[in-house]
Amino acid sequence: MAQFRFTVGPWNVHEGADAFGPEVRPSIPLEEKFRKFKEIGLDGVQFHDDDAVPNLNNMTEGEIIAEAKQVRAALDAQGLAAEFVAPRLWMDPHTTDGGFTSNSAEDREFAMWRARRSVDIANALGCDKIVLWLAREGTLCAESKDPVLGVRRLIDAVNEILRYDSRIKVLVEPKPNEPIDRSFCPTLGHVMGLAAATVDPDRVGAVLESAHAILAGLDPAIEIAFGIAMGKLWSVHLNDQNGMRYDQDKAFGVENLRGAFNQVKVLLDNNYGSRGEFVGLDVKVMRTQKIDDCYRHIQNSLHIFRRLEEKARQFDNAYRDKCIAERNYEKLEMYVLDLLMG
């Protein structure tokens, strides 16, 4: 059976600003976050490029690598691993209209520069994965971009990253919308198609986020299962979501407990983690939370995952098989609910 290891990102403990209000908590230094992550039972850290190297746009390649190595030393001091690095292409003025799919050749080249620097940072941190969350790779105005050209540009961008470093793995994180209206890569199935079209499909996989699947009207457990079946699920971002609204990044399992159970169960049943995969918890602290208890959402997510893991290990497969043989799914459904409520 799988032994799970857990990661979060520095952004999961933030200052509380949102689209409608300013920051409500002071910033916490990165090394203090590392110390607390270790204390509450995490095994590693996910990074945006500018989490590790905040001012990289104004630095040379050598300076970027040197600063990333200092972050590696801070991780090592806490016994934490780096899981991946993701270029934060959605926050820069160069990527207002997208990065890899921008209508501007200059902005597309900037996006590639950040992607190459993310590979450099990943190497300095001791990990072999970068994640592409294609946040603005789509349209707000449907007619503003040629969607066929947009998809081809995504493939070209991934190919450039693969050629830049022969060891790096590229994980694409799909999302159907937000901040753009129409994504060029909205679901895990789209990621599979994109991966197959690259120069080295064996090095292109996926990150599945629970909330993103829900926003697409899909079941996160089925998306996870699809990725596992394809041999392409190389990370997960577990969290929760109250319906098809905006991306909420709630603590794992707080809205859809049975759905969360099935996510844990499919990971457990298929020995996820046995090839080094981490369980990422992409959960955001509520704006109302005070600074002295602003890691509670991570602790809650860990607790819920581990309780659901216990339930998944208790699941009576023989009883399930009996219900299947009888085609008595009402009885099976009640068994699952009793297991969760018991």
Q: Which of 49, 50, 51, 249 is catalytic?
A: 51
Residue 159 CB partners (closer than 8 Å, separation 6+)? 198, 199
CB 157 within 8 A of CB 170: no
Q: How far apart are CA 206 and CA 269, in angstroms?
A: 19
Burial of 277 (0-12, 13-18, 19+ CB in 10 A): buried
Q: What are phi and psi of 170, to 5 degrees?
A: -110, 120
Q: What are 275's two structure tokens?
A: 């090839």
Pairing, β 233-238 against β 204-209:
parallel
Residue 191 CB partners (closer than 8 Å, separation 6+)? 172, 174, 185, 205, 206, 232
If phi > 0 it is left, if psi is from -120 to 50 it is alpha, else beta; for residue 273 that is left
Strand partners, 85: 47, 130
Q: Which of 14, 48, 94, 297 is catalytic?
A: 48
Q: Which helix (H) or strand (E) holds 85?
A: strand 81-86
Longest dimension (CA), the chain: 67
Burial of 5 (0-12, 13-18, 19+ CB in 10 A): middle
Would you tell me how many other CB atoms lie within 10 Å of the CB of residue 149? 12
303 is an active site residue: no
CA atoms lying within 13 Å on the CB side of residue 186: 17
Supply the DSSP symbol for 130. E
49 is an active site residue: no
Residues labelled catalytic? 48, 51
